[in-house]
Amino acid sequence: MARVVLENVTKRFGSVVAVNNASLEIKDKEFVVLVGPSGCGKSTTLRMIAGLEEISEGNIYIGDQLVNDIPPKDRDIAMVFQNYALYPHMDVYNNMAFGLKLRKVPKDEIDARVRQAAKMLGIEELLGRRPKALSGGQRQRVAVGRAIVREPQVFLMDEPLSNLDAKLRVQMRTELVKLHQRLQTTMIYVTHDQTEAMTMGDRIVVMKDAVIQQVGEPLEIYDNPDNVFVAGFIGSPAMNFMEARVGYDEGFYLEVDCHKLKVPPEVEARLASLGDYKDRKVIFGIRPEDIKDEPESFGEGCSINAVVDVTEPMGSEIYVYFTLGNAELVARVPATSGVKAGKSHPFSFNMNKLHVFDIETEKAIR
Amino acid sequence: MDRKTGMRLGDVLKNFGTYLFTALFFFPIYWLLMASFVGLRDMVAHGFPLVPPSFTLESYRLFFKHPDVWNWLWNSIVVALVSTGISLVLSIPAAYALARLRFRGRELMGRLILFTYIVPSVLLLVPVFLVMTKLKLTNTLQGLILTHVTFSLPFCIWMLRGFFASIPSDLEDAGRVDGCSRLGVISRIVLPVSGPGIAAAATFTFTLSWQEYLFAFTLMSKQNMKTLPVAIAGFPAEVMDQVLWANMMASSVIATLPVFILFLYLEKYFVQGLTAGAVKG
Ligand SMILES: Nc1ncnc2c1ncn2[C@@H]1O[C@H](COP(=O)(O)OP(=O)(O)O)[C@@H](O)[C@H]1O
Ligand SMILES: [Mg+2]
């Protein structure tokens, strides 16, 4: 059990910068999720923590120890790989016992630990099988089992669920969270799936183009994204964005396609620097659940009329797609709503939940 | 005709093809085997019939009466086995380095390796002979082993490099995280998983060395230093009567046996997909 600290860590592969000046402090026993689109440097970050990639610049500490030059085997970490990486020439038991044997753990202790982990994961009856005789879900469990028998200081997991089918993925998600609660070990988990990040992490690290964009608790990030990328990446369906002009007429308003949407006084008070943007364009963001399919639900001056393009019934709710100016928007409305594709319909925006971003820097205006 | 019988017809044709080719390849071996059992008197009368009128071990007895026969066998076995061993010991680390380690010139070296085969080996005959003479290695097993290794090594390195490169690198990373050093990863993970590749490299080297004629003939001029292929081909010069042919057939059968046994033994390692189940997909 240990904290993990990254200090201005950079990784270059030739001219490619895979991780750019990343700083991060992961607390002891914390479950941290690195999330971001493919190629943003998540795996590279994890592999540097594991010692599988050399660090170009910066420092990494595990516990209080600087580990820059310590080989993976001496870092006391365990890793679960995306494709499981089970040893094909060993049965499940030996796959799990391998790391312990190399560390000269006494035989009966190895046996006890392997059997306990197998029991915890429900794979006791598979111990004698080779990996090729296992299903995807079983292999995944063995890979997790191989990590937990080691009782390491830190668990590293690189997209461990991305090769499972949807149902199993959801199931394993909860199991891994439970496992973490039980083991109380620092866990660093990589995924490209924002739902996994939101549901599993104590804290989320959002990455893009080799740079850490924002670090925070899931809801903190969801409610207060630092920039357009984070706002759009976290949440499904994604946040709606449109260009708007900031105007003032006894209070600020956002003008979108000739509609004037009033900024409520509470929000105005929160956004100290909004005044600097008077008569300038900004990016206006609003989450799909903050759009209602009726006029004036959130008071005066928050409604528009738009023609519905498509409706997607999801069961408990409907995703309604419509166009406002040149922006494509989506609203999540109750399944009982009467919206019809092709018809004009009133919508109202919950302006208390609005997000505004600088159009140049794409940073949140606060 | 429905689909099912159509498929069956396809199967029949495919099987027929398989049998035909097997028969074509095995016919000379069959004939050789039969001929080796023909008695001397029958041979004079019938030549080499496909089904001999009588079976006798006369030819084998004649062959083993030759005073140098055990020397030839010994030479062949030692040269082939040691060449194979040296080839593997050298090619495994070389191939691993070319497949996995990042260093300057790796790509170029990997490509140049097969270029060593561009020169026809006949052209190398005189230079190799001169070098071996200078080194006083003619008529020694070491000299022939050295020569054979130079021929097998590039191919072994090239083939094993491809094999190692195809092992998912996550497998090695898992080993390193689990507690292996780089060498530990090679011995505990890469080699056990590379059974088919190593078996193929070993078979290639052993067979190459076992049947090699040109250099063995040139380098080994002393009667007791010859290898089997050279000795067998040398019979005509030595014994000029009908015994000669019987002798050649029997000795050829004996010369084929070790390779045959080797293939039978290694066959199980050639089974596809030894890495199956290691990684998804
Ligand atoms: N071994 C490597 N050699 C060269 N470039 C690499 C290597 N590994 C990763 N990269 C590059 O680094 C960037 C980040 O990769 P990665 O960390 O695997 O992204 P992610 O896991 O977020 O999908 C990508 O542009 C990728 O092409
Ligand atoms: Mg990745």
Q: pLDDT tens digits for A31-75? A: 999 999 999 999 999 999 999 999 999 999 999 999 999 999 999
Do A205 and A101 lie in one domain? The reply is yes
* Whether residue A297 is found in the same domain as residue A269: yes
Asked whether residue B130 falls in the same domain as residue B227, the answer is yes
Q: For residue A97, tell me if it sits in a domain.
A: yes
In a domain, B49, yes or no: no
Provide residues of B within 8 Å CB-CB of chain A: 168, 170-171, 173-181, 184, 189, 192-193, 273-281
Environment class of B90 (CB within 10 Å of its CB; exposed 0-12, middle 13-18, buried 19+): middle
Angle A166-183/A136-148 helices, nearest 10 degrees?
10
Q: Residue B199 falls within a domain, yes or no?
A: yes
| B31 and B66 together in one domain | no
A227 part of a folded domain = yes
Q: How many domains does chain B have?
A: 2
Residue A151, pLDDT score? 92
Residues of chain B neighbouring A81 (CB-CB closer than 8 A)? 170, 173-174, 279
Residue nearest atom 17 of ligand 1, based on CA coordinates = A41
B22 shares a domain with B134? no
Q: For chain B, say whether A86 makes contact (Cβ under 8 Å).
A: yes
Q: What is the pLDDT of residue B1?
A: 44
Could you list the residue range(s) of the whole structural domain that residue B30 is in?
A: 3-35
Question: Does one domain contain both A31 and A120?
Answer: yes
Of A175, A199, A233, which one is at a domain's C-terminal end? A233
pLDDT tens for B220-259 read 988 888 898 888 887 765 554 556 676 777 888 888 888 8
Cβ neighbours of B193 in A, within 8 Å: 87-89
Residues 164-183 of A with CB under 8 A from B: none
Q: Tell me the CA end-to-end span of chain A in Å, nearest whole number.
A: 38
Rounded CA-CA distance B170/A52 in Å is: 10
**How many angstroms separate the CA atoms of B69 and B258, rounded?**
15
H helices present in A271-326, as ranges? none
Region B40-61 average pLDDT:
75
Rounded to an integer, what distance in angstroms lies between the CA atom of residue A122 and that of residue B189?
27
Contact A88 B276 (CB under 8 A): yes
Q: What is the pLDDT of residue B243?
A: 61
The domain that contains A339 carries what CATH number?
Answer: 2.40.50.140
Same domain, B23 and B91: no
Q: Tell me if chain B has a CB within 8 Å of the CB of A150.
A: yes
| Residue B151 belongs to domain with CATH number | 1.10.3720.10
Alpha carbons B122 and B129: distance in angstroms, whole number: 11
Interface touch A78/B280, C-beta < 8 Å? no
Side-chain half-sphere of A1: how many Cα atoms within 13 Å?
A: 10
HSE of B101, CA atoms in CB hemisphere, 13 A: 14
**Does position B103 have pLDDT exceeding 90, yes or no?**
no
Residues that place a CB less than 5 A from ion ligand 2: A 43
Query: Containing H/E element for A187?
Result: strand A186-191
Residues 6+ apart with CB under 8 A from B158: B95, B110, B113, B114
Residue-wise pLDDT tens digits, A247-302: 998 889 999 988 899 999 999 999 989 999 999 999 999 999 999 998 877 877 78
Percentage of chain B lying above the pLDDT 70 cut: 87
Q: What is the mean pLDDT of residues A108-124?
A: 94
Let me know if residue B19 belongs to a domain. yes
Cβ–Cβ gap A132/B273 under 8 Å: yes
Whether A316 and A348 share a structural domain? yes
A18 shares its domain with A66: yes
DSSP-assigned letter for residue A239: P
Q: Which of the listed residues A167, A201, A233 is the one where a domain comes to its end?
A: A233
Tell me the C-alpha distance between B97 and B116, whole Å. 19
* Distance from Cα A70 to the centre of ligand 1, integer Å: 22
- Please, what is the Cα angle at A110 between B169 and A95, to 5 degrees? 25
- Checking if the pLDDT of B277 tops 60, the result is no
| pLDDT of B265 strictly over 70 | yes
Does residue A129 sit at the B interface (CB-CB below 8 Å)?
no
The pLDDT confidence band at residue B281, using thresholds 50, 70 and 90, is very low
CB contact under 8 A, B175 and A87: yes
Kindly report whether the peptide bond that precedes residue A237 is cis, defined as omega within 30 degrees of 0: yes
- ipTM here: 0.89
Minimum CA–CA partner of A150 in chain B? B178
Tell me, yes or no, whether A265 and A300 share the same domain. Answer: yes
The stretch A316-326 carries a mean pLDDT of 92
Residues B84, B142: one domain? yes
Q: What is the pLDDT of residues B138-164, one digit of tens each?
A: 889 999 999 999 999 999 999 899 889
Residue A188 domain-assigned (yes or no):
yes
Q: Sign of torsion, CA A112 A118 A122 A123?
A: negative
| Ligand 2 centroid distance, CA of A45 (Å) | 9
SS3 of B49-116: the string is CCCCCCCCCHHHHHHHHCCCHHHHHHHHHHHHHHHHHHHHHHHHHHHHHHHHCCCCCHHHHHHHHHHH
pLDDT (average), residues A216-221? 97
pLDDT of residue B273: 42
Residues B18 and B92 in one domain: no
Total tally of structural domains belonging to chain A: 2
- Does B137 reside within a domain? yes
Q: How many CB atoms lie within 10 A of CB A222?
A: 18
Q: Which of B176, B177, B280 to mutate to test the interface with A (most CBs of A within 10 A)?
A: B177
Q: Which residues of chain B neighbour A103 with C-beta distances below 8 Å?
A: 179
The reply to whether B198 and B260 lie within a common domain is: yes
Of B173, B180, B276, the CB nearest to A85: B173
Residues B121 and B171 in one domain: yes
Q: Give the Cα separation of B153 and A73 in Å (integer).
A: 33
Tell me the residue type at A247.
G
Instruction: Judge whether A3 is closer than 8 Å to chain B, CB to CB.
Output: no
Residues B107, B237 within the same domain: yes
Residues A9 and A75 in one domain: yes
Q: Are residues B164 and B212 in the same domain?
A: yes
Asked whether residue A300 falls in the same domain as residue A198, the answer is no
Tell me: do A23 and A102 sit in the same domain: yes
- Same domain flag for B87 and B8: no
CB of A338 within 8 Å of a chain B CB? The answer is no
Spell out the residues 6+ positions from residue A248 whose beta carbon is closer than 8 angstroms to its own.
Answer: A278
Domain range for A265: 240-358
Under 8 Å between Cβ of B44 and B264: no
Boundary (domain end) residue, out of A233, A263, A278? A233
Contact residues on chain A for B107, CB-CB shorter than 8 A: none
Same domain, B23 and B71: no
Compute the 3-state secondary structure of chain A and give helix, strand, coil in percent, each to the nearest 5. Answer: 30, 35, 35
Inter-chain CB pairs, A–B, below 8 Å: 95
Q: A28 and A46 share a domain?
A: yes
Tell me the C-alpha distance between A146 and A80, whole Å: 8
- Do A16 and A109 share a domain, yes or no? yes
Q: What is the pLDDT of residue A348?
A: 93
Residue A44 three-state SS: helix
Instruction: Please say whether the beta carbons of A61 and A5 come within 8 A.
Output: yes
Taking an 8 Å cut-off on Cβ atoms, the answer to whether A73 and B276 are in contact is no
